[in-house]
Structure 1
Amino acid sequence: MSEFKALLVSETEGQYQSEVVNRKIDDLPPGEVLIRVRYSSLNYKDALSASGNKGVTRNFPHTPGIDAAGVVEASSVGDFTAGDEVIVTGYDLGMNTSGGFGQYIRVPADWVLRRPQGLSLRDSMVLGTAGLTAALCIDKLEHAGLAPGQGPVLVTGATGGVGSIAVAMLSTKGYEVAASTGKALQADFLRKLGANQIVDRSTLESGKDKVLLKDQWAGAVDTVGGDILFNVVKSLRYGASVACCGMTAGGQFNASVFPFILRNVNLLGIDSVEQPLVVKASMWDLLSVQWKTDLHNLEREISLDQLPAEIDKILAGKMVGRIVVNLG
């Protein structure tokens, strides 16, 4: 096949349009591994790319999609051969390299992982970057001392991709989970994922002018950033930690040293994009075996043609859970 279908985002006088078009394999960037993509997933970063955010994607036309799972079509290196089932998440995929919203990608071999044995290609994209990020958050919290039975663990932005998977994963591992959201109608959704209590987002937005708040949380996964993140820091129990992995509420917050020196708390940064491949592989092993979590309550499958409408929804803050893209 010399042509394939892909979502292409183009720019005309500062306006960005998305449409499904036919592209040529010869138009793909150089790389050692050509992959026929079977599944991808929709992430907030993909929506930013599709809407022309230059901090994510500099040059257009462009095919977003920071996640891809599929079958090796051709490889110029011995590590992979035609027919191997593989996944690619992060690095430059879907940012400035044609991504998983196309039926083919061509990427460097050191971006590619073999499909984890405990997951199908589709299962791996229900998780995708969101699942990898959630796992990195929980792993780092546990290395900092978090364990089940210590008290409630807060998850902010709990209806989003990372948040919903974190709620389900923490519950499966035996934690008491407090899920924070601004979507009151999604309380039942979060309880089905395993949340023990629902925290209205407005509760976490109050008290910005205080240097400390009531110590409530044994740990936290924060996906939103901004002043909510620092209010979470101010609400941690003595010695507890929060893993920070998102900034939908803003990239800045008003901070003070008091929580850190009076309650001995930790603010842990999480990046899933540029992690060494060996670290990603270890996380995927956890996700496929020891930490395997039933995610059927939070995922929905769409086609490539349905992507533009779903991108509009995620930009409007209306997406819940995970969207799997079937590239057919």
Structure 2
Amino acid sequence: MQLALAPLQTYTDYHFRNAHLAVFKGVDKFYAPYLKMNNDGTIKNAPKIDILPKNNPQIAVIPQLMACGEEEFFIMADYIESLGYKELNWNMGCPYPMVTNRNLGAGILNKPSEIFELFDHIFPKLKMGLGIKMRMGLENTSEILEILPRLNDYPLTEIIIHARYAKQLYNGPCDHERFQECISLTKHPLTYNGDIESKEDFDELQIKFKGINHWMIGRGAMKNPSLFEEIQFGTVDSGEVYRNKLTLFSQHIITSLLECNPDKGYALSKMKSYWEYLSEGLSDGKQLYRKLKKAKSISDFSELLFETL
């Protein structure tokens, strides 16, 4: 069994990944949020920095990119390769309209001919392994039924499927029946992603999808970073132990943020965004988050957090 941390834009960056590796266990593979392009044809700087080897010294990380054309694909792929990576992941799953309306992310899933035309041009030139992370479609989950069998013609390293269609965003249930159909349609290693927020969720899915050995967790791990340990090792920390880990985890992130950017307002903003998720995993999380949101400085935030936890 292999567990992976999903690439959540602005959240699961190297600050989060390194802190998680230092405090928690159970993640086999980390995926970096996608590289994307500026309007002038250059790669945005923050995601470039995120995947620098010096920022990921002990992490088995897979960089991700988002592209809708061959030229921009290779601008980003060449950069990834120049850093020494042997594999990358193509985001065909981002569901947000500002992305899909530009034929990016899941916006290409209702245009299968464009996907295969891109692959026909890219694979003969590509020197790295390539996997994809995708939704089941843009408008509905049946769209994947046309795409998935034809992907067998290409040497993909893996296919990660978030079991929703894009226009759902993160609302409504995952389509488990459709995912079950997908298992027999592909020869590639298949990873399940979507709504794993507890060990109970995972156990139910593992029984349902007996042939699946690769799993990806995103929002569930943001709410409970120890979820990987609970699934991998069956261990559940006591409330006090878990809170102590969250304190240490937060301190690692704060230290990393301040080393990267001395702007303490930036660190404060980032920590508030992290704790919007982390607070959901605590019984008193709503009250704690209300206090943390009022912090005026990163030092106040740290004091409030450590006093309360």
Normalising by structure 2, we get a TM-score of: 0.30
Higher helix share: 2
Higher strand share: 1
